[in-house]
Structure 1
Amino acid sequence: MNGLAVHEPPASPASWRIALPHSAAAVPVARALVRTALTEPAHGADSDTAELLTAELVANAVEHTAGDGPIELVVELLPTGCRVEVHDPDPAPPGDLTRPSGREPDPWQEHGRGLLLIRALSSSCGHRPTDNGKAVWFRLATVPPQWRPHTP
Structure 2
Amino acid sequence: MVTVALPDTWVYALRLPHDPRAARVARMTVRAALSGHGMGEVSDTVELLTSELVTNAYRHTRGPASLRLTALGDGRLRVGVWDSHPHIPAPFGGPPGDHVPPAPADAEGGRGLFLVQQHADSWGGWPLGGNLLGRGAGKLLWFEVGGR
The 1:113–1:50 alpha-carbon spacing in structure 2 relative to 1, beyond 3 Å, is same
Matches within 5 A, 1:3-152: 11=7, 13-40=9-36, 42-43=38-39, 46-65=42-61, 67=62, 69-80=63-74, 81-97=76-92, 99-101=98-100, 103-131=101-129, 132-142=137-147
Preserved contact between residue 105 and residue 113 of structure 1 (Cα < 8 Å): yes
CA distance in 2, matches of 1:106, 1:82: 31
Contact 2:121 2:143 in 1 (8 A): yes
Distance (Å, rounded) in 1 between the aligned partners of 2:41 and 2:142: 15
Cα 1:28–1:104 shift into 2, 3 Å: closer
Cα deviation for residue 23 of structure 1 reads: 2.0
Gaps of 5+ in 1: 1-8, 144-152
Q: TM (normalized to structure 2)?
A: 0.79
Task: Number of aligned residue pairs: give it.
Answer: 132
Conservation of the 8 A alpha-carbon contact between 1:45 and 1:140: no
Distance in 2 between residues matched to 1:104 and 1:46, nearest whole Å: 23
Q: Helix, strand or coil: the match of 2:71?
A: strand
Q: Cα 1:104–1:86, aligned 2, differ >3 Å: closer, same or farther?
A: closer
Q: CA deviation at 1:104?
A: 3.9
Deviation, 1:10, is 8.8
- What is the DSSP-based 3-state SS (H/G/I as helix, E as strand, rest coil) of the residue aligned with 1:39? helix
State how far apart, in whole Å, the 2-side matches of 1:107 and 1:26 are. Answer: 27
Q: CA RMSD in A?
A: 2.1
Q: Which amino acid aligns with 2:17?
A: P
Change in Cα spacing, 1:48 to 1:133, as seen in structure 2 (3 Å) is: same
Looking at structure 1, the residues matched to 40 and 15 of structure 2 have their Cα atoms a distance apart, in angstroms, of 26
TM-score for the superposition, normalised by structure 1: 0.77
- Corresponding position of 1:6: none
Are the counterparts in 2 of residues 14 and 76 from structure 1 also a CA contact under 8 Å?
Answer: yes
Q: Which of the pair has more CA radius of gyration?
A: 1
Identity of aligned residues (%): 37
